[in-house]
Structure 1
C-alpha cells in the first residue's frame, strides 16, 4: 500500500512533456546540440517525467535503464475525471515539431495527475531541450491504454485519487 501511496503523491508533483523535434546539429553546432540534449535529460529526470511516464521508475528508485524511459505506462490514475494513463512521450513527441511542442506546452490543460501548469512555467529553452532529449532516444511505439471516462471501471491496475476523511 505504501508503494501506491508514494506513486500517487509523487504523481501529483510531476512535470511531463508532450512534444517532438528534429534535431539538426548543423544548425546548433554539435557541442550546443549535445548540451541541449543533456539539459533535456536532466529536466526530464528532476522534473518527475519518469515518475509516471516510465514503467516501474518509482518502485525501482529510478533504477530503470534509460532505453526504457518515457514510453508511457499501463498503470492508470483514477478519480472523478475518469482514468488517465501516462502518455508514451517518445511516440507523441515524434508527431510534433519543436515549435509545435513549445506551443502545445504553453496551452495544454490535461486531466490529473499531469501537472500541465508546470510545463507552462518552463522556459522556452527548457521545453526545447526536453523535446531534443526525447527525440534523441530510440523510437518506441509501446501502446498505452486509452482514457477511461468517469463511471466506467478501468481494466488495468490503477491508483485511486479519492480524498479520505480522517478516522475519528
Structure 2
C-alpha cells in the first residue's frame, strides 16, 4: 500500500499545459507513439476501451476535447446515447484520468473522412504520481513503414476537428 506522502494527486477542471500541448493538433509526427484510452460504459454496464492516437484528439481550448471515432464503433454509440466517458493517458510522468461529457459535433464542410465527431467538456480530471517511481509511458505504438499515409490522414482529421470545433462556437 502506498502512503499518502508518497502519492501525489492533483485535480483539475482545465487541461494542464502539458496535456493541452499534447492535444493541440500540432507536430503530430513527433507524438505518434502516444495512446489514450477512452473508457465508455454501455447500457449493459460493460466498460469498453477505445484506443486513440493524437490524430483523433484535439483540444480547442482549456476545457474541451474533440474526438474522431468510427461511427459504427461501440464508443460512438455510447457517446451518442449517454455522452459519458473517461479518458486515461500518461503525460509528464503522471497518470491522467479525465471525466468528460460528450455530445455529437457536426462534421466540418469538406470532411469526407466518414468519422463521427464529438466534443467533450471536462467534468473533472485527476493526475497521480508516486515519488518512488517515474511513470514513463502507458500504451504506446510504432507506425509501420510507409506511415506517411497515416500521418496525412491524421492531419486531415485534426483539421476537420478544428473546423468543426470553431463552427460549434458560433
Q: Which has the higher contact order (CA 8 A, sep 6+)?
A: 1
Please give the TM-score of this superposition, normalised by the length of structure 2: 0.28
Larger strand fraction of residues? 2
